[in-house]
């Protein structure tokens, strides 16, 4: 099954969670709910968004993060892990894992917006001084 076919199949099987859209994503296909990407299919593998709590669940099952070749080195994306094969056999289990991935993606957005709100500007300008007159 091709990347987009697998993504469409997954979207159909998890549609009980809400409207799932499928979009092109670099060399693969992203799965998105309410504008939030929670997973993607790349080279025939399904990757789900993780957070600190769910990452240990993936690692305990021997799942690995998404990697791709970069300039002279392999780049590891620790926010997405390969989904365990056995979740594909049971739609309810698949939906549970996807729901967790969606929550991880949602949490990352909230975490990012909180960091932006509390970040101090790199430079705070004071009042603009009057122009200097030469003379």
pLDDT average, residue stretch 92-101: 93
Distance CA 100, CA 6 (A): 20
Q: What percent of the chain has pLDDT over 70?
A: 79
In tens, the pLDDT along 66-87 reads 999 999 999 999 999 999 999 9
- Cβ burial, residue 111 (10 Å; 0-12/13-18/19+): exposed
Distance CA 92, CA 13 (A): 9
Please check the confidence at residue 111 and state whether its pLDDT lies above 80. no
Count Cβ atoms below 10 Å from residue 89 Cβ, excluding itself: 8
**Between 59 and 112, residue with greater pLDDT:** 59
Give the three-class secondary structure for 70.
Answer: coil
What is this structure's pTM?
Answer: 0.75
* Domains, the chain: 3-110 (3.30.1460.30)
Q: Which residues pair with 37 in a beta bridge?
A: 32
Report the DSSP pairing between strands 36-42 and 65-69.
unpaired
């Amino acid at each position: 099954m091709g990347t987009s076919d697998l993504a469409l199949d997954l979207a159909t099987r998890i549609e009980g969670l809400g409207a799932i859209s499928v979009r092109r994503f670099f060399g693969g296909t992203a799965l998105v709910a309410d504008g939030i990407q929670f997973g993607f299919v790349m080279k025939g593998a399904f990757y789900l968004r993780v957070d600190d709590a769910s990452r240990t669940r993936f690692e305990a099952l021997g799942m690995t993060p998404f990697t791709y070749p970069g300039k002279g080195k392999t780049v590891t994306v620790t926010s997405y892990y390969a989904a365990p094969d056995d979740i594909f056999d049971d739609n309810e289990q698949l939906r549970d894992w996807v729901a967790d991935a969606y929550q991880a993606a949602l949490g990352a957005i909230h975490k990012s917006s909180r960091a932006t709100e509390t970040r101090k500007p790199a430079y705070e300008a004071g009042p603009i001084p009057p122009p200097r007159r030469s003379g």
